[in-house]
Amino acid sequence: MQGNFLLLVGVLGALLVDAATTSLDGIYSLVQRQIPQHQNSFTFALIEGDGDSFVISDTHGDSGGITIECTTVSACARGLYTYVTRYGGVDIWWTGSRLNQLASPLPSVGEPVNGSAIVEYRYHFNTVTFDYTAAFWAFDQWSSELDWLALRGVNLPLAWVGYEYILIEVFRDAGLTDAEIASFLSGSAFQAWNRFGNIQGSWGGDLPTQWVNDQFALNQQIVARMVELGMTPVLPAFTGFVPRAMARVYPNASIVNGSQWGGFPADLTDVSFLEPFDDLFATLQMSFISKQQAAYGNATHIYTLDQYNENSPYSGDTAYLYNISLYTFDSMRAADPEAVWMMQGWLFFADESFWTADRIAAYLGGVENNDDMIVLDLYSEAAPQWQRTNSYYGKQWIWCELHDYGGNMGFEGNLPVLSTDPLEALYSSGSSMKGMGLTMEGQEGNEIVYDFLLDQAWSPTSLDITSYVEAWVARRYPISNLPSAAQTAWGILSTTVYSNSNSDTQATIKSIFELAPSTSGLVNLTGHHPTEIPYNTNTTIVPALTNLTLAATQNPTLLTVPEFAYDLVDVVRQLLANRFIDAYEALITEYDSSSATAASVTSAGQPLLDILTILDTLLWTNENFLLSTWIADARALAGSNATYADYLEYNARNQITLWGPDGEINDYASKQWAGLVGTYYLDRWQTFITYLADIKHNGTAYDNTAIQAQLLDIGKEWDTQIWGQQAGESWDVVGDVMTVVNDIVQKWI
């Protein structure tokens, strides 16, 4: 039955996708969705030309309006975005669209405006973004996301949703039972790492059939919309990771064990890998790609495939690595004669000691034609690999911004690097760079960073940061008489917080209150998930906040602008996160004092609890900072099926806390959300402070193993709760933001 469903919807999907590839209907539909009052005021036309370019001009005749001519559908979307932002002063944000505020009549352009992309590819998504941010999105959320991408000129997005449906069909055809397949697939909030071959199986129950079917249907909508909007979706291919039972069905197949990952027990990692030079690999690849083409039509020839993302190859022999990629690509080409292999370059950074120049050259060399591969230089802003690999030995590659590990929410960015380094890479001698892209692990805050890089992809010279930020703020807060204090606030942030040149603290800044409490090892961490603050809070966050609150006082209309309300909460959130460090250090100093008592330790710990309490109160004032939204989105996918909803909620809770049945990568995906800060983090820190006070009272020794076991138990209990069953739990915003902010300013500035 499932196979027949795949065939039926595949035929319908193929007709839809193929029909949309040469049509501008998707752009007209975008206008209808986002600017309905002007749906008849824009004219789009495809013209001959190289690359992605557009011309914006006033429409001649009595009807007026705006004409956008473009060489590609994607360029038409970018031309529309250029018009609404530059002439209309409005924009679309993660917090919502302001495009419906575009003035009427439309502002005229005057002299025609030309625009061209400086790179062929504008890429978006990390494989893990599909779990850290989009795990429980419905199509309305995807629709907004894809409009955001299209308008900013993205033409190469990843399309991972629903992968498991087709993989199950492939494994069934290969002779595996449903039980054997189920033991391999990971939970709804952890599928990215199963796709990477890092983990297998689920600690929250088997992946439900309803999830598999619904996600596949969702991806059909996503892929069709991507193509309508002029994007080329990057779909998955068969990687080689297989259930252990594959060895039962094919005892002579060349199957090797993968490596252990993330501290997980053997039954949840050590994923079996079918080596590509085994004939079975090509058979499964043909099955997978042909089924996928039946489902989505001729939507793409670009496939994402990562075999060694934080996995160690079975052998470091260069001939072995060459053959792995050679046979992998041969299998793709046998299934799709136009196949192009896309891979993340993260492995060359994450396991740099293994991936020597010779091994990288061998692995990439298995794909002989350079145009047949695209490498995502995943962490270009801080740890680029293109230089040490001689521009990936000629393979096409994309300069990427990696950010927000696990969807963490600390302020961080480096606008000066984004304005210069991609251009230097593009124009360097012998460069094979073909794109710029965003590969953030989670879409949580720091929105200016992502806007900036995507805009740089359309400018042959470095964007001027000062003028860029001024224009960005003006359209982010689209009100008349915008107080200069708002611009001053962002001028401070852009030249300090968002000009972080310390590569040891880039990608994300994690607050220590999100980590399991301990007497050491929390403060001033660098590298992956740094906690070191690379700026002076008193000369950056404090004056920025002072100016934002001044702007709100001078023009209270600002508080009705969702983006301003978000930014105000976000800046105060960062202030409290930074102040928590001071309070923590004072607690540890008191605890280490020879004169410390239970009472003095309890007193020293109170400011930590006060910060968490007031932070939770602050976050409850804004819909974008609610744990309940994450959980509600998860439960909504289950409809009226309460058992299924509970399963999804467990997955949602576990990802942002223990990340594993026993805290294997505890707190990796931590969030500063109302309902999480005021329960989970507050409970952990209260337990820790009480433990330290008890030590002073009883005269016992500190036992880190014992306290960490207590904290782990708190996590396990919290993960199994059901939202709304506890007294006082609400789904909705509570409180007045300015009242809370003023209270915080008085105490913590």
- The DSSP result for 87-154, as a single string, is TS---EETTEE-GGG--SSPPP--S-EEEE-SSSEEEE--TTHHHHTTTT--HHHHHHHHHHHHHTT-
Can you tell me which residue has the tokens 């102040």? 579
Q: What letters, b where the CB count within 10 A reaches 16 and e where it falls short, cover 249-284?
A: bbeebebeebbbbeebeeebbbbbbbbbbbebbbbb
Query: pLDDT tens for residues 216-260?
Result: 999 999 999 999 999 999 999 999 999 999 999 999 999 999 899
pLDDT reading at 502 higher than 50: yes
Q: Pairing relation of β-strands 42-46 and 66-70?
A: parallel
What pLDDT sits at residue 506?
A: 82
Sign of the CA dihedral running 326, 332, 333, 334: positive
pLDDT for 17 equals 44
Angle at 372 between CA 369 and CA 376, to 5 degrees: 120
pLDDT at position 99 over 90: yes
What does the pLDDT read at residue 2?
A: 47
Section 712-739 average pLDDT: 91
Q: For 146-183, how does the pLDDT look when each residue is reduced to its tens digit (9 = 90+)?
A: 999 999 999 999 999 999 999 999 999 999 999 999 99
What's the mean pLDDT in 648-674? 98
> For residue 365, with 0-12 CB atoms within 10 Å meaning exposed, 13-18 middle and 19 or more buried, which class applies?
middle
Percentage of the chain with pLDDT > 90?
Answer: 93
Q: What is the pLDDT of residues 567-617, one digit of tens each?
A: 999 999 999 999 999 999 999 999 999 999 999 999 999 999 999 999 999
CATH number of 35-116: 3.30.379.10
Q: What average pLDDT does this structure show over 436-443?
A: 97
Among the listed residues 496, 586, 588, the one whose alpha carbon sits nearest the alpha carbon of residue 538: 496
Q: What is the pLDDT of residue 21?
A: 54
Distance (Å, whole) CA 555 – CA 616: 27
| pLDDT at residue 9 tops 60 | no
Which pair of structure tokens corresponds to residue 150? 């299209």
SS (H, E, C) 292-308: HHHHHCCCCCEEECCCC
Question: Is pLDDT of 6 > 50?
Answer: no
Mapped to the 3 state alphabet, what secondary structure does 389-410 carry?
A: CHHHHCCEEEEEECCCHHHCCC
What pLDDT is stored for residue 527 in this prediction?
86
SS3 content of the chain, % helix, strand, coil (to 5): 50, 10, 40
pLDDT digit string, tens, across residues 662-689: 999 999 999 999 999 999 999 999 999 9
Pick the CATH number of 121-463 from 3.20.20.80, 2.40.37.10, 3.20.20.70, 3.90.1310.10: 3.20.20.80
Provide the pLDDT confidence category of residue 373 given band limits of 50, 70 and 90: very high
Give every strand in the sheet of 272-274, ordered side by side. 241-242, 272-274, 255-257
Average pLDDT, the chain: 95
For residue range 377-390, list pLDDT tens digits in order. Answer: 999 999 999 999 99
Give the pLDDT band of residue 507 (cuts 50, 70, 90).
confident
Nearest Cα to 507, choosing from 592, 601, 371, 414? Answer: 414
pLDDT higher than threshold 90 for residue 64 = no
Whether 741 contacts 572, CB under 8 Å: yes
Please report where in the chains the tokens 């997978």 appear, as a residue. 288
pTM (2 d.p.): 0.96
Nearest to 695 by CA among 623, 554, 591, 553: 591
Predicted pLDDT at 726: 74
Q: Tell me the pLDDT tens digit for each residue of 687-722.
A: 999 999 999 999 999 999 999 999 999 999 999 999
The amino acid at residue 314 is: Y
Q: What is the pLDDT of residues 514-564, one digit of tens each?
A: 999 999 999 999 988 899 999 999 999 999 999 999 999 999 999 999 999
Q: Where are the domains of the chain?
A: 35-116, 121-463, 486-748
The predicted pLDDT at position 258 comes to 85
What is the CATH architecture assignment of 486-748? Answer: Up-down Bundle (1.20)
- Provide the pLDDT for residue 548: 98
The tokens describing 441, both together, are: 């692990």
pLDDT confidence bin for 14, thresholds 50/70/90? very low
Beta strand 396-401 with 272-274: parallel, antiparallel or unpaired?
unpaired
pLDDT given at position 5: 42
